[in-house]
Chain A
Amino acid sequence: MTYLRYELLRTIRNRRFFIISLAIPVVIYILVAAPNHHAQNLAGTGIPLKVYFMVSLAGFGSMNAVLSAGTRIAAERTTGWNRQLRLTPLSTRAYFATKVVTGYAVAGATIALLYLVGAGFGVRLGATHWAEMTGYMLVGLIPFTALGILLGHLVTADAVGPTVGGVGAFLAFLGGFWFPVGQSGVLHYVAQALPSYWLVQASHVGLGGSGWGREGWLVIAIWTVAAARLAMRAYARDTGRS
Chain B
Amino acid sequence: MSAGVDTGIALRGLKKTYRTSDGPIEAVRGIDLDIAAGQTLALLGPNGAGKSTTIDMLLGLSRPDGGTVTVFGGTPEQAVAAGSVGAMLQAGALMRDLTVRELLLQLASLYPQAEDVDKTMELVEITEIANQRTQKLSGGQAQRVRFAMALLTNADLLVLDEPTVGMDVESRHAFWTTMRRLASGGRTVLFATHYLEEADEFADRVVLMAHGEVVADGTPNEIKAKVGSKTIRATLPDVPAADLERLPGVTAVERRGTGVVLACSDSDAAIRALVAAFPEAHNIEIGGGSLEEAFLELTA
- Asked whether A6 lies within 8 Å of B102 as measured between CB atoms, the reply is yes
Judged by a CB distance under 8 angstroms, whether B177 is at the interface is: no
Q: Are B91 and A81 in contact (CB-based, < 8 A)?
A: no
Residues of A within 8 A of B94 (CB): 81
Asked whether A83 lies within 8 Å of B83 as measured between CB atoms, the reply is no
Q: Which of A11, A83, A239 has the most CB of B within 10 A?
A: A83
A239 to B86, CA, bound (A): 19
Chain A contacts of B83 at CB under 8 A? 88-89
Q: Smallest Cβ distance from B240 to chain A, in angstroms? A: 43
Query: At the interface, is chain A mostly helix, strand, loop or mixed?
Result: helix
Knowing A10-B95, A79-B92, A81-B95 are in contact, say whether A86-B80 is a contact too (CB < 8 A).
yes
The contact of B149 among A1, A5, A11, A84, by CB within 8 Å, is: A84
A240 touches B93 (CB 8 A): no
Given A3-B106, A87-B87, A88-B110: A10 touches B97 (CB 8 Å cut-off): yes
Does B126 lie at the interface of the complex (its beta carbon under 8 Å from any beta carbon of A)?
Answer: no
Report the minimum CB–CB distance from A3 to chain B (whole Å).
5
How many A-B residue contacts, CB cutoff 8 Å? 76
Q: Among residues 96 to 147 in chain B, which have CB atoms less than 8 Å away from a CB atom of chain A?
A: 96-98, 102-103, 105-107, 109-112
Main secondary structure, interface of B, reads: loop
Residue of A nearest to B134 (CB): A10
Chain A: CB-nearest residue to B150: A87
Contacts of B105 in A (CB 8 A): 2, 6
Is B82 part of the binding interface, using a Cβ–Cβ cutoff of 8 Å? yes
Q: Given A9-B98, A89-B80, A91-B81 in contact, is the A80-B106 Cβ separation under 8 Å? A: no
- Nearest to A89 among chain B residues (CB) is B83
- Bound together, the chains give a CA A84 to CA B110 distance in angstroms of 13
The reply on A14 being an interface residue by CB < 8 A is yes
Contact pattern, A 26-70, Cβ under 8 Å of B = 1, otherwise 0: 000000000000000000000000000000000000000000000
A89-B106 contact given A80-B89, A80-B93, A84-B149, CB 8 Å threshold = no
- How far is it, in angstroms, between the C-alpha of A136 and the C-alpha of B93 when the chains are bound? 39
A215 at the interface (CB under 8 A from B): no
Give the contacting residue for B112; candidates A5, A87, A89; CB below 8 A. Answer: A89
B89→A87 contact, CB < 8 A = yes
Contact A9 B102 (CB under 8 A): yes
Residue in A1, A80, A89, A91 whose CB lies within 8 Å of B111 = A89
Given A88-B80, A240-B62, A13 contacting B97 (CB threshold 8 A): yes
Please, how many angstroms separate the alpha-carbon atoms of A88 and B88 in the complex?
11
Contact status A240-B61, CB under 8 Å? yes
- CB pair B106–A81 under 8 Å, yes or no, is no
